[in-house]
Amino acid sequence: MKWLKRIAIVVAVLLIVPLVTLLALGHRAGAGKMQVAVEINAPPEQVWTWIDDNDRLKQWVSWLVEVKSPDPQKAHGVGGTRILVMKDENNGGALIQIVGKCSEYQPPSRLTMQMADTEGMFDGQEAYQLVDLGNGRTRVEIHSSFHYGVWFANLMEPLITPQAEKKMVSDLARLKLLAESRASLR
Q: What confidence tens digit (pLDDT) does each residue in 27-39 have?
A: 678 889 999 999 9
Residue 94: partners with Cβ closer than 8 Å, 6 or more residues away = 87, 88
**Closest C-alpha among 81, 134, 138, 135 to residue 108:** 138
Q: Is the pLDDT of residue 186 over 60?
A: no
Q: Is the pLDDT of residue 84 over 90?
A: yes
- We report the CATH number of the domain holding residue 76 as 3.30.530.20
10-24, 129-143, 148-162: range with highest mean pLDDT: 129-143
pLDDT-derived band at 74 (thresholds 50, 70, 90) equals confident
| 13-27, 54-68, 90-104, 148-162: the lowest-pLDDT one | 13-27
In a domain, 19, yes or no: no
In a domain, 55, yes or no: yes
On whether the CB atoms of residues 80 and 101 are closer than 8 A, the answer is yes
Per DSSP bridges, beta strands 33-40 and 137-148 are: antiparallel
In a domain, 26, yes or no: no
In a domain, 24, yes or no: no
Number of domains within the chain: 1
In a domain, 69, yes or no: yes
In a domain, 11, yes or no: no
Q: What is the pTM of this model?
A: 0.85
pLDDT-derived band at 25 (thresholds 50, 70, 90) equals low
In a domain, 1, yes or no: no
Burial class (CB in 10 A: 0-12, 13-18, 19+), 161: buried
The arithmetic mean of pLDDT across residues 43-69, rounded, is 95
The arithmetic mean of pLDDT across residues 133-160, rounded, is 92
Residue 179 is part of which domain span? 32-185
Please indicate whether residue 46 or residue 185 has the higher confidence score (pLDDT). 46
The arithmetic mean of pLDDT across residues 106-115, rounded, is 97
